[in-house]
Chains A and B, each alone.
Chain A
Amino acid sequence: MALGEISFKVVFMSTYIRIVLQIIIIYMFSLLGTLFVQTLHIKFPGSIVGLLLLLITLHLKITPVSLIRDGAGFLLGVLPLFFIPATVGVMKYPELLSVHGLLLILSVIISTILTIGISGRICQYLENKESSKGAV
């Protein structure tokens, strides 16, 4: 019983440590991406460079999936938490509650509806074509 409890604790701790270590590895990719963008002075988000780097190394089997799986899963699971500090920044723009601000928000709504409708229709058309081609 006591032994079982101890081994449970060990397993629990090792999962915890593994997640932390994997996050550090993922952080390295992010850092590498940021450094890349900064040294070359390109207007491009460094995190996307990091994403592409990780994707390429996964594909070439340089980075084994098991090395990042738990860390990535954890980060993606709590992803919304990470953009709270940014969204709280809205308090710096009280003018969004003016008529002009509300019209701007309405524009975003209209544009989003157009985007869903048009891309959905086109995708459905292409998907039908692509899957019928695959069936032949």
Chain B
Amino acid sequence: MLSAGPTPRVSLDTWEFVIAAENGTEHRWSWQELMALPQETPMVDIHCVTHWSKLGTTWQGVSLDTLLDGVDTGAHFALAHSYGGYTTNLPLDDLRGGRAWVAHTFDGAPLAPEHGGPARLLVPHLYFWKSAKWVRGIRLKTMDEPGFWETAGYHDYGDPWREQRYQGD
């Protein structure tokens, strides 16, 4: 239920991922550049806000630690944005420390469009709406800015172990 509209179709020829620091500096990667970065293969459990979990899923992607290396920032918040217009907010710390990836492969196959391909954010320690499908970039922010579902009443942080589904949980 976490896809709110039609599935966007994104060509790898025009795909890009952009990290924009709070001072306006942008760091860009094309598909080829992303694939040339060191790759990791996290095996993780994922938890959806609609009461299902999937254990031991295998992904391949680039760690946000790798992508944020060399980005000069003092920001505490991040707003991920996607092809198709979706947004979701996270504390920047939650994208660091080997806990977040830009993932392009699931179970050994290219990530299908309906599951967020060509690439999605993968932040398995938070509810899965934080793992933005069709991710296009991350804006670093000094102030927290709620994303699409957070504006519609979902929890700002979304810790599945504390069942933070909706605001006030």
| Chains A and B come from one and the same complex | no
Show the binding face of B for A, using Cβ within 8 Å. none
Show the binding face of A for B, using Cβ within 8 Å. none
